[in-house]
Amino acid sequence: MLTFLPLLLFLSFQLPEDPGPFPVGWRDESFQDLRFGQGIVDARVYYPATVNGQNAPADPVGGPYPLVGFQHGWLGSAANYDLLCTHLASWGYVVSSTDTESGVFPNRQAFARDTRAALWWMEDESADPLSWLADMVDPIAPWSAIGHSMGGGTLSLLIGIEPRVRTIVGLQAAQEPAGIAAMRAFDGAAWWIAGSVDTLVPPSGVHAWFEEAGMASRRDAYWEVIGMGHTGCTDSPSNGDPLPGAEQYRVHRRIVTAVLECEVRGDENLLSTTLGAGAYGEPWSAESDCRMPPVWAIEGGASIFVGVAGRAGGRAALAWSLTLGSYSTPYGPLGFDPRTAVRAASGLTGTDGVLEAALPPRGSWLGRTIGFAGIASGASRPPLLGRTAFVDYP
């Protein structure tokens, strides 16, 4: 990782922990599941709205919006995560927070089935022109799911029964032995956040999920937040931990939002704020194991910052070209002529799996569009190209 943080790095985009552009409404729903026979399912729904507030009119003008499922922790409820779910909705997501299995002896399999039922119900309602959710949910965008503690572990059960969930984010995710096989076979994207002083779900338990997901997933990354306990993603994060509660919550907003924007909307540049130089000084250590490496390229005034996330201890390289086009290579598609590639950086990745470079401007770049590409490999993994990122240099 680069060891400095130029302030100009962030001039080209909004930080993911800041509120998005949409007012947010929310409402509690209780519906009869007619698809899977789950009976009555309760969920709290957060959505872009015309104004902020409970039962505010939904605003489909900026949509349709990607769908996200949320699963609470043990003895929790949807109401414990209002702030995080509202934040995601402000960035243009419809969030369905499952509000079942809140008792002392929850049925985790039923919890996963309820989440599946709620996601399908939301999409069905969006297709109904008479529903308050009409035209709100994007029927094409991949589904994502987030879970805290018990809900994080239950993600493994959800992906075992619902293939439309392509991205999962486990927040201090508890172990769930019944879901290990599904996690090992999951070929989507898996992202994990642990707290270094979490005594309920120690970092080793969350890291175990990271290792299981790394067997088949297209992308897999792990953050261990220094000084954070177990409740940093909730509306009442602990101020008894070394890291203040407000900081714990901010960290979750940054990482979760950046992950969704990357995986759902393809904005891989935001990962520079979580895995790259944009995370310099943040209170976490990171580790990536990405079979399909994300690539970021950001024009920062005096330099262009480029990076690629592969596998810790693997190899990676970055290159650029002005000869743009669509080319097929043995390592995947490339957005410029490989014969004109100029190497920007290459070598071993560190413990975070990241290779980065700060490139000073060249005279040939002025007024041109530059293509940047990254390639990464690791133990037992062949080299693969990530996306080709394009920067219009002034």
User: Within its chain, how far is the Cα of 20 from the centroid?
Assistant: 16
- Kindly provide the residue ranges of all beta strands, DSSP E only, lying in 196-336, ordered along the sequence: 219-225, 284-288, 295-299, 304-309, 315-321, 324-329, 332-336
pLDDT of 300 reads 77
Distance of CA 374 to the CA centre of its chain: 20
Could you tell me the CA-to-CA distances from 315 to 190, 199, 230, 290, 308 in Å, in that order? 21, 35, 34, 12, 10
Domain range summary for the chain, segments of one domain joined by +: 7-288, 295-392
> Model-level pTM?
0.95
Tokens coding 189: 């994207």
Return d(Cα 96, Cα 361) in angstroms, integer.
45
Residue 53: C-alpha distances to residues 49, 79, 133, 297 (Å): 8, 14, 16, 37
- Does domain 7-288 fall under CATH 3.40.50.1820? My reply is yes
CA dist 2 → 67, 286, 350, 354, 362 (Å): 34, 14, 11, 9, 21
307 contacts: CB under 8 Å, gap ≥ 6:
272, 275, 276, 277, 295, 296, 318, 354, 355, 356, 357, 374
The burial class, CB within 10 Å (0-12 / 13-18 / 19+), for 161 is: middle
Tokens 């290779």, located at residue: 355
What length is written for the chain? 394
Half-sphere exposure of 95 (CA within 13 A, CB side): 33
Q: CB neighbours of 1 closer than 8 A, spacing ≥ 6?
A: 276, 277, 279, 280, 350, 352, 354, 356
Per DSSP bridges, beta strands 304-309 and 295-299 are antiparallel
Q: How far apart are CA 337 and CA 318, in angstroms?
A: 14
The residues, any chain, with a CB within 8 Å of residue 206's CB and separated by 6 or more, are: 152, 170, 172, 173, 192, 193, 194, 222, 224
pLDDT for position 13: 66
pLDDT tens-place values along the chain, 394 residues long: 444 444 344 445 689 999 999 999 999 999 999 999 999 999 999 999 999 999 999 999 999 999 999 999 999 999 999 999 999 999 999 999 999 999 999 999 999 999 999 999 999 999 999 999 999 999 999 999 999 999 999 999 999 999 999 999 999 999 999 999 999 999 999 999 999 999 999 999 999 999 999 999 999 999 999 999 999 999 999 999 999 999 999 999 999 999 999 999 999 999 999 999 899 999 999 999 999 999 999 987 778 999 999 999 999 999 999 999 999 999 999 999 999 999 999 999 988 999 999 999 899 999 999 999 999 998 788 999 999 999 998 8
Does residue 78 contact residue 44 with C-beta atoms inside 8 Å?
Answer: yes
pLDDT at 12: 57
Domain 295-392 class?
mainly beta
Beta bridge partners of 289: 311
Contact 76, 111 (CB under 8 A): no
Strands (E), 53-142: 53-54, 67-71, 94-98
Beta carbons of 293 and 375 less than 8 angstroms apart: yes
| pLDDT for the residue numbered 380 | 80
With b for 16 or more beta-carbon neighbours within 10 A and e for fewer, the 77-111 pattern comes to bbebbbebbbbbbbbbbbbbbbbbbbeeebebbbb
Q: What whole-number distance in Å separates Cα of residue 170 and Cα of residue 234? A: 13
* 93 three-class SS: coil
Alpha-carbon torsion, ordered 196, 201, 202, 205, to 10 deg: -120
Q: What is the DSSP letter of 109?
A: H
Tell me the three state secondary structure of residue 63: coil
pLDDT given at position 394: 81
